[in-house]
Amino acid sequence: MKRLVTVVTGGSRGIGAAVCRRLAADGHDVVVGYLRDAGAAEAVADEVLGAGARSLALRADTSVEEDVDRLFALAEERLGPVTGLVNNAGVTGPLGRLADTATADLRQVLDVNLLGTLLCSRRAAQLMAPRGSGVIVNVSSAAATLGSPGEYVHYAAAKAGVDALTLGLARELGPDGIRVNAVAPGVIDTEIHAAAGDPERAARAAAAIPLRRPGRAEEIAAAVAWLMSPDASYAAGAVLRVSGGR
Ligand code: NAP
């Protein structure tokens, strides 16, 4: 039987690592993409191996075309035809008002969240369309519809772009047998908030969330895994909000 080979970008920690573990449990071979933390990515790949799946940790800056091409080339060389892609790599940049945000931060947030998703999706489409099947799940954000004033409107705008490309690409690639969907998490307890300059952000957000707590990475991974699975065989162009009601 054909093996499921799924590339997860930003798989070294947080939501991406939880997605790698969950997909391994669901029978996928997993390419663990990462940018800086090779040790963390190797540890996740080891966990995937421990679950009985094949795995590979590969460094690739998703906003760089050559890195993306190499990521998919090595994945196919080592594990076989790529059948799935989870566009999870993302950054918020420092929290703050637009007026105080540096151009370099605007550019990086757009490059990683939007251009990176486009570059990886384009490479996946080139490989999957001739084969007549494939699944892509984008990790968007509830920020896309909240706007994130005072925090990172540029990040919200980039994720709104991800929502638009999810719909467009689902319609473009549906006839090729490729399903494209997105998960839009609310506030999830990961290191992304510390990287944005506010380690307590997730805990503090609890009061404004109807379920009164931040989400766990595993709760997002479950939604991603569903959209990747045959159980979601008629879902295409959907943006599934998993945000505790926010
Ligand atoms: P995280 O803990 O900060 O992890 C980010 C991951 O992305 C890391 O594996 C990192 O790799 C990788 N990465 C960053 N820049 C990259 C680049 N240029 N190329 C390739 N990989 C890159 O973040 P998270 O909270 O798990 O977030 C995962 C996704 O969920 C992101 O798209 C984020 O926008 C989205 N999201 C998160 C939340 C939340 O509250 N946590 C809410 C809504 C949406 P290295 O560690 O190796 O650098």
What would the pLDDT profile of 190-215 be if each residue is shown by its tens digit? 999 999 999 999 999 999 999 999 99
Residue boundaries of the structural domains of the chain: 4-242
Residue in 34, 152, 155, 234 annotated catalytic: 155
Ligand 1 test: best mutation among 192, 209, 213, 220, most atoms within 8 Å of CB?
192
Global pTM exceeds 0.95: yes
Give residue 116 CA to ligand 1 midpoint distance, Å: 12
Beta bridge partners of 135: 84, 179
Phi, psi of 177 (to 5 degrees): 80, 15
Task: Summarize pLDDT for 86-125 with one digit per residue, the tens.
Answer: 999 999 999 999 999 999 999 999 999 999 999 999 999 9
- Does the annotation count 152 as an active-site position? no
* Spatial separation of the C-alpha atoms in residues 156 and 228, rounded to whole Å: 24
Cβ-Cβ contacts under 8 Å for 38 (sequence gap 6 or more): 57, 59
Q: Indicate the DSSP class of residue 3.
A: P
Cβ-Cβ contacts under 8 Å for 26 (sequence gap 6 or more): 225, 228, 229
Cβ-Cβ contacts under 8 Å for 99 (sequence gap 6 or more): none
Output the pLDDT for position 94. Answer: 95
Atom number of ligand 1 nearest to Cα 215: 40
Output the pLDDT for position 151. Answer: 97
pLDDT at 173 over 80: yes
Output the pLDDT for position 182. Answer: 99
DSSP character string of 105-128? HHHHHHIIIIIHHHHHHHHHHHHH
**Cα end-to-end distance, the chain, whole Å:** 41
Atom number of ligand 1 nearest to Cα 191: 2
Give residue 9 CA to ligand 1 midpoint distance, Å: 9
Give residue 1 CA to ligand 1 midpoint distance, Å: 33
Q: Is 136 exposed, middle or buried (0-12, 13-18, 19+ CB in 10 A)?
A: buried
Ligand 1 lining (C-beta closer than 6 Å)? 9-10, 12-16, 33-37, 61-63, 88-91, 112, 139, 141, 185, 187-188, 190-192, 195
Write the CATH number of the domain with boundaries 4-242: 3.40.50.720
pLDDT at 2 over 90: no
